[in-house]
Amino acid sequence: MKYLCILVIVAISFTTQAQNLKPTDDLALVTVTITNMKGVPSIGDMVRFKSKKTGKIYSGTSKAQGKFQILLPKETFMVLVQGFETEDTKNELVIPNVPGEINFSYTIKYELPKVFVLQNVHFDTGKNTIRQDSYETLNNLAELMKRKKTMVIELAGHTDNVGNAASNQKLSEQRSESVKKYLIQKGVPAQRIIAVGYGQTKPVASNETEQGRQKNRRTEVNVLHE
């Protein structure tokens, strides 16, 4: 489950302030702050503002102190926060079309889920070879981790109960190691990835049906640190 809460603080100014970007008569300066649900600044989160008038998208990524600045036209925008393979659309940002220079402070409280399954990561049957249809999901995970430079994860491999328990344990370890190697090749530092295997010991569904076994064959991401 994803968590998203947006708090908006609006400050309208008709004087020029000393900032990296400057508001104009046509463009408002929005200072965006992203924190987790406890108010701790979050770095590396991407936010997009989609104009309801033109469909044009403006985007920024939180940096030091969870902040970034962006110039936006005096319009109404949908706010989209980029998660992992999801984009949460929450609230509207309305910038009033009034004369003068406008400064907004805009705070977003957002957290990634602490545990999620890599739904589209698949392996050859009985092997640790990653199938090509898994690359897009793994690339998205790599990009997320490169944006969030302090993020540390555990990759947990799981199997169903078909076959020997010891073999399943070894296979789950090998598969999580394969995913780790792929992420390293994409530029994620090795020390930020812990690869483990649990074999058939942690099913999330019944192994009595093919549907259940399919759910049990999975690679999970446990976020240890953001």
| pLDDT, tens only, 112-122 | 889 999 999 99
- At residue 90 the predicted structure's pLDDT band, cuts being 50, 70 and 90, is low
Token pair for 196: 């483990």
Predicted pLDDT at 16? 37
Beta bridge partners of 88: 81
- At residue 139 the predicted structure's pLDDT band, cuts being 50, 70 and 90, is very high
With beta carbons less than 8 A apart as the criterion, state whether 84 and 144 touch: yes
Predicted pLDDT at 82? 84
pLDDT tens readout for residues 3-46: 444 444 443 333 334 357 899 999 999 999 999 889 999 999 99
Domains and CATH numbers, the chain: 3-111 (2.60.40.10), 115-225 (3.30.1330.60)
Model confidence at 196: pLDDT above 90? yes
Residue 65 region, left (φ>0) first, then alpha (ψ -120 to 50), else beta?
A: left
The pTM assigned to this predicted structure is 0.81
With beta carbons less than 8 A apart as the criterion, state whether 110 and 93 touch: no
With beta carbons less than 8 A apart as the criterion, state whether 182 and 175 touch: no
Token pair for 149: 């430079």
CA-to-CA distance for 158 and 215, rounded, in angstroms? 10
Token pair for 12: 């309208």
pLDDT tens readout for residues 170-192: 999 999 999 999 999 999 999 99
Model confidence at 142: pLDDT above 70? yes
Higher pLDDT, 212 or 111: 212
Nearest to 25 by CA among 125, 96, 128: 96
pLDDT tens readout for residues 147-170: 999 999 999 999 999 999 999 999
With beta carbons less than 8 A apart as the criterion, state whether 84 and 111 touch: no
